[in-house]
Amino acid sequence: MKSKTKITISAVAAVAAAALVWGLLQADTAFQSDSRSASPEIQSKSPAPGKVTMLDLGADKCRPCKMMAPILEELEKAYEDRAEIIFIDVWKNREVAEKYGIRAIPTQIFFNEEGEEVRRHTGFMDKKTIIKNLSNLGVTPPEKYRDS
């Protein structure tokens, strides 16, 4: 009886492993077929020529990325004449992830006015820290963010 149980468990495990591998292959194929090139507009804006730039590389479906989305939208408007804040979905623009060597998301990269990378952070970044990083690059925060 014990050998029959072992065979059954082994068979179930083998089927589960095969299903997992098949699912991963299908997901990768679906990802590749859905993957699009980053638009020329995105590529020309990252980093923005002559402006301090914060590039946030994440995905629309990533939980910490979703948490950062309203912060980025708010700061993008607040800093529109001072700095560029750009979000790129690396699941839709895989070549951008490769270009910047992204291993985990979200990843924020700060560039100076010359387009040189000066800071990189992986994980959620709060509003106060983003403002501090932009300030460290010489970008004066809008009035309402100066004491935050």
Domain covering 40-145, topology: Glutaredoxin (3.40.30)
User: Helix 127-136 crosses helix 63-78 at what angle (to 10 degrees)?
Assistant: 50
Counting other chains too, the contacts that 86-90 makes at CB distance below 8 Å and 24 or more residues apart are 86/42, 86/45, 86/46, 86/48, 86/53, 86/54, 86/55, 86/56, 87/56, 87/57, 87/58, 88/38, 88/42, 88/46, 88/55, 88/56, 88/57, 88/58, 89/58, 89/59, 89/60, 90/57, 90/58, 90/59
pLDDT of residue 47: 83
CA 98, 105, 117, 78 torsion: positive or negative?
A: positive
pLDDT of residue 4: 64
| List of the chain residues with pLDDT < 50 | 17-37, 44
User: Which helix H or strand E contains 140, and what residues bound it?
Assistant: none
Q: Provide the residue ranges of all domains of the chain, joining segments of one domain with +.
A: 1-34, 40-145
The residues carrying an active-site annotation are 62, 65
Q: Give phi and psi for 13, each to the nearest 5.
A: -65, -40
**DSSP, res 137:** T
